[in-house]
Chain A
Amino acid sequence: MAEVLRPEMLDISNDTSSLASPELLHVLAVDDSIVDRKFIERLLRVSSCKVTVVDSATRALQYLGLDGDNSSVGFQINLIMTDYSMPGMTGYELLKKIKESSAFREIPVVIMSSENILPRIDRCLEEGAEDFLLKPVKLADVKRLRDSLMKAEERVFKNIMHKRELEANDIYSQLKRAKI
């Protein structure tokens, strides 16, 4: 007897909510300098990114809900750009905290610094930083970052769509066989 395939038996993941709309990367920028905050915010807006700017690593952790307060709202951050030298918690320490977190370790973190210190750069890259940018950050740097992140997202998106296609084909064959 032909087995009837009901929709609920099919396990197709319809969840692409983890992907931001391809046009709109949401960036969290962290810098203790008010001038640099204004500057990076503008750079990112001009590059068609959604921007949230905070003035310290502590506030960044609060925003992400990683400060133990657990007040994190449901939002999507696609990239974190942080200054290296900040009072209190440095950008390097923030990077480590993010990479230690199961919820956020996949988010690319870019370090910005006015100082071209090779051991510093190495340390950050070793800790999992996506990139290290010398200040002042250029529009070209942001565009390059954005393009490479969007390509990565596009790959993920394409993989999901391909998977769906395969699953749909699979269902179709099963339906055919069941002569529905």
Chain B
Amino acid sequence: MQRQVALIKQSLFDQGYLDEQFIELEELQDDANPNFVEEVATLYFKDSARLISNIEQALERGSFDFNRLDNYMHQFKGSSTSIGASKVKTECTMFREYCRVGNAEGCLRTFKQLKKEHATLRKKLEQYFQASK
């Protein structure tokens, strides 16, 4: 079981899903707080689900309020950075760039990719935490 945990973790880092911030989080875990990282991850996915939903609604409206979209992405990028979600963070940055230049098509494309990365990370982390128990 230990080996499986190590393998999942290694692949998450090798494939760039996670960066060293995740390790920082793990270092804050101890016997008295053994589930800290999982708790943070849970909060993150709950919060980012809300942001994704907000962004989807904003995009569906058709008229692109780039300021508002950028605002959501700023929050999304922030929490992704704090948990070490590297690929998601990269997509957030790209999305914000498209907002900055007012490129709606770019925003839509990037958002699709972002959701994909986000879903993959969620699944892999769920596996990781399950295997760690």
Contact = CB atoms under 8 A, between A and B. Distances in A.
Interface of A: 33-36, 38-39, 42-43, 46, 85, 114, 135-136, 138-139
Interface string B27-51: 1101001001001100110010000
Contacts of B77: 114
A43 B33 CA distance: 12
B74 interface: yes
B79 interface: yes
B75 A136 contact: no
Chain B, interface SS category: helix
B81 A135 contact: yes
B83 interface: yes
B25 A35 contact: no
Contacts of A135: 78, 81-82
Q: Which 3 A-B pairs have the closest CB atoms?
A: A35-B79, A42-B28, A136-B82
B81 A139 contact: no
Contact of B47 (A35, A136, A139): A35
9 contacts: A33-B78, A34-B47, A35-B40, A36-B82, A38-B40, A42-B28, A114-B81, A136-B24, A139-B24
Which of A34, A36, A39, A114 gathers most chain B CB within 10 Å? A39
Chain A, interface SS category: helix
B28 A35 contact: no
Contacts of A36: 78-79, 82
Contacts of A34: 43, 47, 79
B21 interface: yes
